[in-house]
Amino acid sequence: MAATGLRMGVVGGSVAGCATAVAGVRAGADVTVYERSAGALQDRGLGVVVPPSLHERLVGAGYLDAAMPTAPVATRVWLTRAAGGRSAREFARQPSPVTPCNWGLLWQALRTAASGAHHHRGRPVTSVGRAPAGRAVVRTAEGEETYDVVVGADGHASLTRQALAPGLRPSPAGYTVWRGTLPLSALTDHRRPLELLREAWVTIGFPGGHGIFYLIPRGGGAGPDDRLLAYAVYATPPGPPPGEVAHVRDVAERYFPEEWADIVARGEHTAMTCHPVTDLHAPLAADPPFLLAGDAAGVTRPHTASGAVKALQDALCLEEALRTCASPAEALRSYARERTPEGARLVELGRRLGRAQVEQTPDWAALDQEAVDAWCRATLAGATSYLYARVAPEAQAQADPVGD
């Protein structure tokens, strides 16, 4: 079935909303997007990492412009503070090809690709409901519209999800992530970290957590090779999460190699946010005429680097289903069969990674290359993740990697 003539409403105009709008338009549907925020969304996020193969596929399929800047690297480096000092000790290096993106540029690219849809900005959806003949109604302050399919792309606190899974609540992990960015101009006296970050993404292990550092395109009209440093530090705050923004500086000062602690201290004065880590998974990703995409369908702990990835894969799956299934209802059931277990799998993987890398951290000082590879394999326990694509080759042969 090409979805010609299908009326599709999309609640939310962020990454999942724009990507599913592209999917619907490409399959031939008449798509309308409702976004609560009145302004453009490009200044919202920081860094987003996607698998290179997914990036290529999205460019090939017309979801992303090949000219959108990215900052690909192929290696992951593991560091910790050297025993008895404040210098950095590299204890492992793994092949780990990733394509870091700037959240704002990614959103802009998707929004441009979704220009074939009707977009209503500053139009919050107040409720959705079932309508006669298997259709759905979308209500706003301006009135109501009826659609054949309604996509809930309205984020982790999704109102659309209430139609499928009323009362579902996020599960707190009990720890916090501090995210920040820094312009590279602030780091000219940090030659070694910068050299490393130009070839790798970096994980710094410390007792009770870890930090991730990587470069992303700067965006905001800067040249395609201009970079920002993006980082995320996971730790348990002394009080209930999320805790203080400043707490991460104390953690870095106490445990990080000196130059990396200084980066975190500077980040506090540029752009930093902290929020509690949670996860959530809708028991059904679609139930005609409703479909959930992106964070509305499920939120995984960020260790899987799959928030945006999942939203983009959801869109590709929706397009395929709309193109190939005999009816919209069958397309949504096909989507649910594929995406519901994937969401559950990612939540479980995020929990395992969180346990290993935050809740029950190893003695980082005792790890070497072999021990890290073995520890990663044990943590994955046969699951696949593009971040660890070359760590568990035997497992990769048995299952599709996340993002492919």
Ligand X SMILES: Cc1cc2nc3c(=O)[nH]c(=O)nc-3n(C[C@H](O)[C@H](O)[C@H](O)COP(=O)(O)OP(=O)(O)OC[C@H]3O[C@@H](n4cnc5c(N)ncnc54)[C@H](O)[C@@H]3O)c2cc1C
**Site residues (CB under 6 A) for ligand X?**
11-17, 34-37, 41, 44-48, 103, 124-125, 153-155, 159, 294-296, 307-308, 311
Q: Which helix (H) or strand (E) holds 321?
A: helix 307-324
Nearer to ligand X, 159 or 204 (CB): 159
Closest distance of CB 191 from ligand X, Å: 27
- Could you identify the residue written with the tokens 């994955």? 380
Show Cβ contacts of residue 196 under 8 Å, excluding neighbours closer than 6 positions.
Answer: 77, 202
Closest CA to 247 of 263, 228, 234, 231: 234
Closest distance of CB 92 from ligand X, Å: 24
Closest distance of CB 357 from ligand X, Å: 17
* Phi and psi, residue 97, nearest 5°: -65, 125
Closest distance of CB 365 from ligand X, Å: 30
- CB neighbour class for 4 (10 Å; exposed up to 12, middle 13-18, buried from 19): exposed
Residue 360 CB coordination number (10 Å): 9
Token pair listed for 183: 């312009």
Nearer to ligand X, 235 or 296 (CB): 296
Closest distance of CB 373 from ligand X, Å: 26
CA distances from 328 to 126, 150, 153, 230, 292 (A): 24, 11, 18, 40, 14
Tell me the three state secondary structure of residue 308: helix
Closest distance of CB 293 from ligand X, Å: 7
Closest distance of CB 245 from ligand X, Å: 16
- Starting from the edge strand earliest in sequence, which strands make up the sheet with 125-131, in order? 125-131, 135-140, 143-147
The 8-class DSSP code of residue 400 comes to: P
Task: Determine the straight-line distance between the first and last CA of the chain, rounded to whole angstroms.
Answer: 24
Tell me the three state secondary structure of residue 70: coil
List the beta bridge partners of residue 280.
299
Q: Which residue is nearest to ligand X (CB)?
A: 294
Closest distance of CB 297 from ligand X, Å: 8
Q: Where are the beta strands (DSSP E) in 53-170?
A: 73-81, 88-102, 118-120, 125-131, 135-140, 143-147, 149-152
Closest distance of CB 278 from ligand X, Å: 12
Say how far apart CA 59 and CA 65 lie, in whole Å: 6
Closest distance of CB 225 from ligand X, Å: 21
Nearer to ligand X, 35 or 91 (CB): 35
Give the distance, in angstroms, between the CA of residue 197 and the centroid of all CA atoms in the same chain.
20
Q: Where are the beta strands (DSSP E) in 293-382?
A: 298-299
Nearer to ligand X, 15 or 263 (CB): 15
For Cα atoms 213, 214, 216, give the angle at the middle one, nearest 5 degrees: 140
